[in-house]
Amino acid sequence: MIWTLCISIIVLSAIGLFRLRRVRKRAAREQRQQAITQIQLLRQLLEQVQRHRGLSFGAMSGEHSLEPRRWSVHQQLLQLLKTIGQYEASLYWYDSWHQARDIWQKIESGFEHESAEHLLTLHNDMIACLLQTIEALANRFDLVCLGRLAPQAEGLWFELLQSIELLGQSRAVGTGIAANRQNLPIWRDQLQVLNEQINEQSYAALARLISDPDLRILVSQPVRDAEDALDLLLERIRTLLDRQPSPAVHSVEFFQVATRAISAQLLLVDMLLERLVVASGSSRERVGKA
């Protein structure tokens, strides 16, 4: 009788531990899935803040035709911030998220009286905070290294985001130079630095992505499109850097060329994040069947 009772207790304990472990795994999968969703939303926010930066700097530098587009992007930003607000409880623990929100308030309140240069700096600071928030989420849920010691090909989405920020800064500065119709040394120097960084980093990330055998078929055409768009942007940057009294590139054209280069790389980011969503969903199904 005693032995039977002991065996029953052991069996029930084993069953309880198995179920607890399964519940914990399911909870971890759900948290990971939620983190990816948050990153996707923050990615959209990042894109619109970068776009708002370029349009604002261009409009305040003299290209007033960009103002209606800036206003439209501003409304999209407000809506995105409202949507992301549903995750405020989990984002609350990231200082960089609070800093990003605070900087956005400064951007909104300062648009009427701050200089174009100061607002450009505020945008840069906000974007840096958004990237820090995304990186923190990615590190916490292992969305870059994916269980390995080094970043994996499917985790290159974050490196692409960092590369895109270089393109975004060049879009803002280049649009401002073209809108001013003059090559001021301070902006020429900054654009030259960005040009060198883009050449060093952007192509390398795309090359590593297409070299992965598991991703090559999926990303082959999008990578080629991204490289072509990048080539064209760098050509326009070189034209702006040409030592002429008046830039030969119109500000609206430059903004559009840079936007196409950025959008081409954002497409790759979205593809990689979607693969993480699918992989996370498959893992959750396996846990449910266990």
Q: Structure pTM?
A: 0.87
In angstroms, what is the C-alpha Rg of the chain? 23
Domain count, the chain: 2
Domain boundary among 84, 104, 139: 139
Evaluate whether 77 touches 103 at the Cβ level (below 8 Å): no
pLDDT in tens, 18-62: 554 554 455 556 778 999 999 999 999 999 999 999 999 999 999
In terms of Cβ atoms closer than 10 Å to its own Cβ (0-12, 13-18, 19+), residue 2 is exposed
Structural domain of residue 173, as residue ranges? 155-290
Q: Tell me: do 76 and 195 sit in the same domain.
A: no
Tell me the CA distances in angstroms from 130 to 6, 46, 96, 109, 195, one per residue in order: 56, 7, 7, 20, 23
Is residue 131 assigned to a domain? yes
CA–CA separation, 141 and 151 (whole Å): 13
Residue 83's pLDDT band, with cuts at 50, 70 and 90, is very high
The predicted pLDDT at position 290 comes to 47
Q: Tell me: do 182 and 266 sit in the same domain.
A: yes
